[in-house]
Amino acid sequence: MANETVDPEKTIKQAVNVLEMPIAEEPVKGITRSDFLTKAGILVGASPLVPLSWGIISGAYDYRVRRQKLYLPNLPAAFHGMKIGQISDVHSGSFYNRKAVNGGVDLLLNEKPDAIFFTGDLVNNVASEMRDYQDIFSRVKADLGVFSSLGNHDYGDYYFGKEDSAAKRKNLQDLIETHKVMGWDLLNDENRILKVNNEELAIVGVQNWGTGRFPKHGDLQKALLGTEEQSVKLLLSHDPSHWRAQVLDTDIDVMFAGHTHGMQFGVRLKNVQWSPAKYVYKEWAGLYREKNNKQLYVNVGYGFLGYPGRVGILPEITIFELIKGNDPKARV
């Protein structure tokens, strides 16, 4: 029994068959109440295996495009209607299906975003994990550029240890070079000024900065240098905990993050979402707003880590539309 594998489709069919049978004290079509309860008990005992197994088979590469309007009162008119794509947490060291990964990139490119943001964790541990996927992600292009940032996994801490070493420094340099080769503009405590029709906005990127046990490499004030005159600032920062810790005290309009994965398990519907991630992160998936119109968006990730699948919290490609003005649905 220990070596048997779980067939999710067979188990689900068995569950449906059992649930469709009448509950009766006397035998009906060969089943009694006690038989029903026995089978139901077996079903309940096996039930955790069904979604977890199905999450590996179906959820790991079931990419979903999520659309989000971002209302910005100070947005320069030239950027009204601009489309930004976001992916995060690729974790290439976990992939095992090149065709599926390539299909996710197709979904992103089919949206024809004007710019694309990648918000950290390209690998699990070492830069070489991108060897088999660099050509796929090199396809990620946009007219106004692809901008990226580093996540906690990109520094090699989980492979080389937290102490500095020559091998660890080389690994980080190799990862930085990978961004460059793919044509991604990696923002390590830097900013870029986008210009459209003589109007401008700032894209800012910091190295990983997280609360608790996560590394604090990022220097937000350094990254903001030279953006003082910009009316809109968009920040790439991997860990959403950075938002409340530092970002809300600045004039940054929107922060784009990842990191949580939504713990790869939960429920995410139009008006309801739940995951164990909510007990760890105050902001863990989707759009968050403070009363002064500061906004944070947390993307639940393109890849996966640890458990090789997803249940309910599916891999995400986010498409934003920038809107000049106030959100009519926002609370005053």
3-state secondary structure of 132: coil
Q: Please provide residue 41's backbone torsions phi and psi, each rounded to the nearest 5 degrees.
A: -65, -40
Which residues, at least 6 apart from 44, have a Cβ–Cβ distance to it below 8 Å?
Answer: none
Which residues, at least 6 apart from 136, have a Cβ–Cβ distance to it below 8 Å?
Answer: 98, 101, 102, 105
3-state secondary structure of 262: helix
d(CA 132, CA 96): 10
- Reference 126, options 168, 89, 73; nearest CA is 168
pLDDT at 298: 98
Strand pairing class (273-274; 286-289):
unpaired
- Give average pLDDT by consecutive 10-residue segment, the chain, 332 residues: 41 37 42 44 44 58 97 98 98 96 98 98 98 98 98 97 97 98 98 97 98 94 98 98 97 98 93 94 96 94 94 96 91 56
Tell me the C-alpha to C-alpha distance, in Å, between residue 157 and each of 2, 5, 116, 150, 301: 36, 35, 27, 13, 20
- Encoding tokens for residue 260? 């949580």
> Residue 113 corresponds to which amino acid?
P
pLDDT at 58: 58
